[in-house]
Amino acid sequence: MSFDTPPCYVDNCAARALRRLRCWRGLILPTILLFTGQASIARTTDAICDERTFEGARFTVCEVDLARHDIRIFLKNAEGTNYSRPEALPQKGLLFATNAGMFRPDYEPAGLFIQNGQWLSPLVTRRGAGNFHLEPNGVFWIANGRAAVSTTAEFAKLKPRAQLATQSGPMLVMMGKLHPKFDINGPSRYIRNGVGVRDSDHVVFAISQTPVSFGVFARLFRDGLSCANALYFDGSVSRLYQPAGGSVGLPGPLGPLIGVYAR
């Protein structure tokens, strides 16, 4: 079964946004894949991202060690406007940046958003349409220097004092099991990105360089990257940027962003 709805926005996008998104797919996708999806990302001595092949598809994978790296979450700059682009984040010490979960048509977070310990957007537990609400959905969070990916229900029960959190959906992997509603390799294909945890100190971010199914993407985290828990961030509008190595994914404004910095 295919559960993909127009990416980036929860439920229904505004008509104009949908037309713009379709235009990006139809006109820009081939060019982007030519110059980013098919190109190797240059590595420096500080790079923590590289290319992997899994089930015949190419991915950019970034492995984060919380003892050496600092994960930060962003939405608005000092002027109160959205950063919108990974390239707009503070550059000093930046290793890579990526979109950090689904967002509404106004580019505000679709669900929970915690920055520096402040709840800027509440946890969403209601049911709805679209990938965000494909239960179980979940939360990527960090508390006391330890990272986790939990289902929304688990997070609500735990009530951790998180310094950072972002909610998205669906979950890709839960305690080593794939989301039960994914096909092995369904017909819906997008450039996809997400996050997984190997343990509380090691976080893995990944983005596909070409469109892939939910099934392949979930197995990448479980079987290829050894993540017992992983969360889907988004599809089609997904993007990963490295200051020294360019970008993978599609252009266009985004909502929440994650930046990973050298300590």
Q: What is the pLDDT of residues 144-157, one digit of tens each?
A: 999 999 999 999 99
Contact between residue 117 and residue 163 where contact means Cβ atoms under 8 Å apart: yes
On the 0-12 / 13-18 / 19+ scale of CB atoms within 10 A, 172 is buried
Number of domains in the chain: 1
pLDDT, residue 59, reads 98
In a domain, 2, yes or no: no
In a domain, 231, yes or no: yes
Contact between residue 259 and residue 97 where contact means Cβ atoms under 8 Å apart: yes
pLDDT, residue 47, reads 72
In a domain, 1, yes or no: no
In a domain, 198, yes or no: yes
pLDDT, residue 42, reads 36
Show pLDDT as tens, one digit a residue, over the chain (263 residues).
435 655 444 443 333 343 343 334 333 333 333 334 333 333 334 679 999 999 999 999 999 999 999 999 999 999 999 999 999 999 999 999 999 999 999 999 999 999 999 999 999 999 888 888 889 999 999 999 999 999 999 999 999 999 999 999 999 999 999 999 999 999 999 999 999 999 999 999 999 999 999 999 999 999 999 999 999 999 989 999 999 888 999 888 999 999 999 99
In a domain, 7, yes or no: no
pLDDT, residue 35, reads 35
pLDDT, residue 250, reads 84
In a domain, 10, yes or no: no
pLDDT, residue 4, reads 64
Helix (H, G, I), strand (E, B) or coil at 23: helix
In a domain, 9, yes or no: no
Q: Residue 88: enclosing H or E segment and its boundaries? A: none
Q: Could you list the residue range(s) of the whole structural domain that residue 108 is in?
A: 15-262
Phi, psi dihedrals of residue 109, rounded to the nearest 5°? -60, 145
In a domain, 4, yes or no: no
